[in-house]
Structure 1
Amino acid sequence: MKTLLNIIWLVFGGFWLALGYFAAGLICCVLIVTIPWGIASFRIGFYCLWPFGQMVVEKPGGSGVFALLGNVIWLLVAGIWIAIGHVVTAVAMAITIVGIPLAIANLKLIPVSLMPLGKQIVPTDRPFVSTYR
């Protein structure tokens, strides 16, 4: 089931969403000072390609003061706008019955798009994981 949902997700938005995150990651890495955000953008981009069967968790050992500061900067500069985009897209996807799982996957991306530093993507055994640790 996870594979089928991931293929449907990839066709109906995941590919383009991941390309956007990859483009942002490239821009951040070129600017050198913003490399941590670039790496986080690549991580989110890969998560966007195959979100079902994965979840976002805090890195073990805590994320530290620099990750917190970086997350606040990210939230003010880009995070809030990306999260709004995910909500709008999720509402559009939820219009159809087939789109409801895709909308859930899109909403699952909001916490990591708001505060990406100090997070990691881990596999899970369930296709729908709504808990964010």
Structure 2
Amino acid sequence: MIADSFAQKVAKAQDLPLEQQQHAGTPLTGTMDPTLEKFLHDLIKLIDEKKIDPYVPDSFLNKDIYEKLPEALQGKVDLALVNMVDLVRKIEEYFRSKQTPNECPQYENMLATLLQMKERLEEHHDVFKF
């Protein structure tokens, strides 16, 4: 007999009990890379000191440097800034939440992604405040 197709298996699937759904959505714990941990604390400090605002993308920029960039590079920064702001909001939410562990792979991945975006754009110019 031929094995059930994927669609048939999906059609036959039953919902997980609520307890299993909650367990599946729980972030894993783990140890965070020290570089990312320092980056996190520097980022949160800037937010707490009101030097950057996760709801005001321009607040992330060193304006003097940004305005001197070639237009093409400004465009790249502008495009990345939309994603960076979203990541910073999520990171801050994770940091302040009592329901998420302080160190987990999901959290570390968000920080690593943000740091990588920042470093890629700042290869030649220190365009961000963090």
What is the TM-score when the length of structure 1 is the normalising length? Answer: 0.28
Structure with bigger RCO (C-alpha 8 Å, 6+ apart): 2
- Which structure: larger Rg? 2
What is the TM-score when the length of structure 2 is the normalising length? Answer: 0.29
More strand by share: 1
